[in-house]
Chains A and B, each alone.
Chain A
Amino acid sequence: MSNLAQMLQTAGSSIEADDDFDAINALMREKGWSDGLPIVPPTEARVAAMLAYCDRPFDQPIAKIAPRWGEATPLRLAANAVMAGCQPRYFPLYMLAIEAMCEEPLNLYGVQATTHLCAPLVIVNGPVARELDINCGHNAFGPGHQANASIGRAIRLALVNIGGAIPALGDMSTFGSPAKYSYLVAENEAESPWQPLHVDRGFPAEASAVTVIGAECPHNVNDHESLDGEGVLMTIAGTMGIAGSNDIYYQAQPLVIMGPEHAKAVAASFSKDDARRFLQQHAHLTVSKLSRDNIERRVRVTFKDRLANPRPDDLIYAVQRPEDLLIAVIGGAGKHSAFVPTFGATLPVTRALKTVDGRLAKSVEDFRRG
């Protein structure tokens, strides 16, 4: 069904409130439908404008969001997108990100409910990233761009309002994370010396796509001194071997983000596959960096084939196989890269933006009704 007025007659689909910004925000906080920041009231008119960019039936779930397994209908998603401050033309990409993160390999139930501080990171590739002006350059993970801020925020609101990731109820994260407010960027394809991330993941270059990763915040890798690619990779590898990381105990697929300057230095002597192999071989820590109890209770259990009786100088790898490492080029000028560890029990999911009839979308205008 795509008749909004008729749908809002259904019990539980709408509420009446005083037409006052402060009163509406107070109501939203009281209901628990807020991330703590003021929201844009999801009036029928604003939701209708958002749904003008939806080519699906408004009441048919596109996914069920864990841990509550709430049904993510376009109608509910549109309300959350309005609340977050999205422009209507962002809506197709927002729906795609929600669909991707609900695919089984991501293990959204675990990502949402864990005591770990992970959040779904969305990396956007392709022409729609440019069309929507999603920041991929300076301060890409920071403030300043409406698309990054509001689509990321709309995702979090849906994870809470539809998925039930309510702090201390459905989201048991010990610390939470600033990434739980908004965590969406684009890859800096124009300044990358390599093919884009979504092409690495098997999609055509002309596709627009999202890659979702159950991720920690980026950890900076400062290297202003290395004069060649191997030096930069050594510094990145040295940053990846972390004793407290979930990734070392799983066949995880963490992310290395190279700033464009580092990427160009590396690409002068390494293909992306060569860089993956180098990082896998050199990103490790010795058993001696772990506590006695961790060695006894995790290392000897997890690596029972290789490290049943580990010696202090035995190696534990940050990534088990080269092909498990994701590499993307993001950011502006500066000799920095970043390492993004994951929840461990999660795998990245990439999904292309397609219209309801299965065609690769060239533009968000492909989704516009009427």
Chain B
Amino acid sequence: MNQKVRLVVPEAPSPQAVAETKVRAVAKGGIRLGVLDNSKGNADHLLRFIVDGVKALMPVASVVSLRKDSVSLPAPEAILDQLAAESDYVITAMAD
């Protein structure tokens, strides 16, 4: 039987992805939907289909659609702030 040896773990665990949750006060007219187009080819088409699907399932009071300039860079603060202010839920997507 082999002797045992202690090895140092080289891995970092995933941060606990515990999203902050709170009950959103959704207006009677329906949810405010945010859409972030990541500028990948066809992302706009895919997002449009998804928005249509959501509208078929539940009342939607408003849709705010914004677009990143680059798929490879994070969304600028201004876009994130506007989505946070004007949306109850945000959808983003890849395409191509």
Residues of chain A touching chain B, judged by Cβ–Cβ distance below 8 Å, are 8, 12-20, 23-24, 31, 33, 41-44, 47, 65, 68-73, 75-76, 78-80, 82-83, 107, 109-110, 114, 157-158, 161-164, 250, 297, 343-345
Cβ of B22 within 8 Å of any chain A Cβ, yes or no, is no
Cβ-defined partner of A79 (8 Å) among B4, B8, B72, B73 = B8
CA distance A342 to B36 in the complex (A): 26
CA distance A18 to B5 in the complex (A): 6
Cβ-defined partner of B5 (8 Å) among A19, A80, A82, A83 = A19
Shortest Cβ gap from A7 to chain B (Å): 9
Cβ of B24 within 8 Å of any chain A Cβ, yes or no, is no
Cβ of B78 within 8 Å of any chain A Cβ, yes or no, is no
**Residue in chain B with minimal CB distance to A111:** B72
Evaluate whether A114 and B72 lie within 8 angstroms (CB atoms) in the complex, with A20-B2, A70-B13 already known: yes
List 6 A-B pairs, minimum CB-CB distance, nearest first. A70-B12, A345-B72, A19-B5, A79-B10, A18-B2, A79-B8
CA distance A42 to B6 in the complex (A): 8
B9 touches A79 (CB 8 A): yes
Chosen A-B contacts, 6 in total, with CB atoms closer than 8 Å, are: A12-B9, A14-B6, A42-B8, A44-B6, A75-B8, A345-B70
Shortest Cβ gap from B40 to chain A (Å): 11
A43 touches B6 (CB 8 A): yes
Interface residues of A, dominant DSSP: mixed
Shortest Cβ gap from B94 to chain A (Å): 10
Interface string of B1-32 (1 = CB under 8 A from A): 01111111111111100000000000000000
Residues of A within 8 A of B70 (CB): 250, 345
* Beyond A33-B11, A70-B15, 7 extra complex contacts between A and B, CB < 8 Å: A8-B8, A15-B7, A18-B4, A24-B7, A43-B8, A109-B74, A162-B11
Residues of B within 8 A of A69 (CB): 15
A15 touches B41 (CB 8 A): no
Residues of B within 8 A of A68 (CB): 12, 14-15
**Residue in chain A with minimal CB distance to B70:** A345
Residues of chain B touching chain A, judged by Cβ–Cβ distance below 8 Å, are 2-15, 41, 70, 72-74
Residues of B within 8 A of A65 (CB): 12
**Residue in chain A with minimal CB distance to B5:** A19
Shortest Cβ gap from A205 to chain B (Å): 34
B41 touches A297 (CB 8 A): yes
B7 touches A162 (CB 8 A): no
A19 touches B12 (CB 8 A): no
B9 touches A19 (CB 8 A): no
**Residue in chain B with minimal CB distance to A44:** B6
B12 touches A344 (CB 8 A): no
B12 touches A162 (CB 8 A): yes
A164 touches B9 (CB 8 A): no
**Residue in chain A with minimal CB distance to B14:** A68
CA distance A76 to B12 in the complex (A): 7
A17 touches B5 (CB 8 A): yes
B10 touches A80 (CB 8 A): yes
A16 touches B12 (CB 8 A): no
Shortest Cβ gap from B95 to chain A (Å): 12
B9 touches A76 (CB 8 A): yes
B4 touches A16 (CB 8 A): yes
CA distance A73 to B3 in the complex (A): 29
Cβ-defined partner of B12 (8 Å) among A31, A43, A47, A71 = A71
B72 touches A343 (CB 8 A): yes
Cβ-defined partner of B10 (8 Å) among A24, A107, A162 = A162
Residues of A within 8 A of B15 (CB): 68-70
**Which of B4, B10, B70, B74 has its CB near the most chain A CB atoms (within 10 A)?**
B10
Residues of A within 8 A of B5 (CB): 16-19, 24, 41, 43
A164 touches B72 (CB 8 A): no
Residues of A within 8 A of B13 (CB): 12, 70
**Residue in chain B with minimal CB distance to A81:** B10
Residues of B within 8 A of A110 (CB): 72-73
